[in-house]
A and B are shown apart, each in its own frame.
Chain A
Amino acid sequence: MLELITQATIVILALAVLMAFVRIVRGPTLPDRIVAMDLLGVLVVGLIVVLAASSGVRATLDAAIVIALIGFLGTVAYATYVERGDPQ
């Protein structure tokens, strides 16, 4: 039963990743794309955690930690870039 739930969770998260991608492609301004990228990073962290817990490979959690860190730094860097430049 947990097998099925895990599959469903992964499918739902993949759907969410797809929606974030649509916003990245369509987003009229750069901040829209940054918000979507931020959400994408968080969703990937969740996906990795679910996969790590369902497969039992604990080392994958370290990758999730690193992605969470780098996603935050990237968001802040993009925001400084927006504050200085043209948002279009």
Chain B
Amino acid sequence: MTDVLTAVLWLAGAAFSLLAAVGVLRMPDVFTRMQASTKASTFGIGCLLAGAAVQMGDFGSLIRVASIGAFLLMTTPVAGHVIARASYLADVPLWKGTVLDERRQQMERDAAKAAKEAPAP
């Protein structure tokens, strides 16, 4: 029974990790790559950890596996946010099919407003 559960969890986890890697390889720009990697890898690793906990079954390894899982769940969103912010501020080019860039629109509106209020002499 535990073997079957472990097999299912490990195969699901490996499939999700592979999907994350395919996303990182195939997506067109940094931000889409990042959303493929962070979400899928979190869930994939969660499945792998759960399978390992079921397979080992003793309390010490359960604590270790749970702490790895909790740590990854806490840090992956933070790391994704930090990379996204850094690469946006560093003007990494967006994909050409991007439909919404609110910060750039706001900056253009501000620039137009400033030009209207203070016309060049």
Contact present for B11 and A9 (CB under 8 Å): yes
Contact present for A87 and B87 (CB under 8 Å): yes
Q: Which of B22-30, B99-107, B112-120 contacts A (4 or more CB under 8 A)?
A: B22-30
Size of the B side of the interface (Cβ < 8 Å), in residues, is 53
Chain A residues in the interface with B (C-beta under 8 A) = 1-2, 5-6, 8-9, 12-13, 15-20, 22-23, 29, 31-32, 34-36, 38-39, 42-43, 45-46, 49-50, 52-54, 56, 58, 61-62, 64-65, 68-69, 72, 75-76, 78-80, 82-83, 85-87
Chain B residues in the interface with A (C-beta under 8 A) = 3, 6-7, 10-11, 13-15, 17-18, 20-22, 24-25, 30, 33-34, 37-38, 41-42, 44-45, 48-49, 51-52, 55-56, 58, 60-61, 64-65, 67-68, 71-72, 75-76, 78-79, 82-83, 85-87, 89-93
